[in-house]
Chain A
Amino acid sequence: MKYLRILAYSLGIALSLSTAWLLFPGERSEAGLLAPATLKWVPDIEDTEDFCPFEHPEWRKAQTIEGVEISESPICRPDNPYLVASVVKGTNNVTMPTLMKTRLAMDAVVKENDLDGDGDPDVIHIKLEVAELNGSSPDGDFLIPGYPIAPGLMPGIWVFVPKLRGMATIDAVSTQAPEILRAPSPPIRVEQGDTVYLTLENTHYLPHTIHLHGVDHPYARADGQGNDGVPITSEKMLLPGESRTYKLHPRQTGAGIYHCHVQTDKHMLMGLQGLFIVEENRPDNWLQTFNIGAGRVRHPSRAAREKYAQEVDLHFQSLDKERYAAIQKYNDPRLVAKAMNREYDITDADEDFYLLNGKAFPYTLRDSLIVVEADQKILLHTVNGHPHSLGLHLHGHKTTAIAADGVPLQTPVTRDVQPLLPAQRLDLVLDTHNDGRHSFGPGAWLFHDHAEKSVTSDGVGPGGDLGLVVYRQYLDENGWPKLQGMDMVPFFNRQFYQKQVPVWARSGAWEIFSDTAPLPPDRLRLILSGLSLGLALGLLIALWRSGRKLP
Chain B
Amino acid sequence: MVDIRSGASEAIPLAEVEDVELYHPKSWWTHYVFSQDAKIIAIQYSMTAIAIGMVALVLSWLMRLQLGFPGYFDFIDADHYYQFITMHGMIMVIYLLTALFLGGFGNYLIPLMIGARDMVFPYANMLSYWLYLLAVLVLVSGFFLPGGPTGAGWTLYPPQAILSGTPGGQDWGILVMLFSLILFIIGFTMGGLNYVVTVLQARARGMTLMRMPLTIWGIFTATVMALLAFPALFVACVMMLFDRLLGTSFFMPAIVEMGQQLQQSGGSPILFQHLFWFFGHPEVYIVALPAFGIVSDLISTHARKNIFGYRMMVWAIVIIGALSFVVWAHHMYVSGMNPKFGFFFATTTLIIAVPTAIKVYNWVLTLWRGDIHLTLPMLFALAFIVTFVNGGLTGLFLGNVVVDVPLSDTMFVVAHFHMVMGVAPIMVVFGAIYHWYPKITGRMLNEAMGQIHFWVTFLGAYLIFFPMHYLGLLGIPRRYHELGETAFIPESAHTLNMFISVMALIVGAAQILFLFNLAWSLKRGKPSGGNPWRATTLEWQTPQTPPAHGNWGNELPVVYRWAYDYSVPGAAEDFIPQNQPGLGMPTREHAS
Q: Bound pair: A and B?
A: no
Chain A residues with CB under 8 Å of chain B are none
B-side interface residues toward A, CB under 8 Å? none
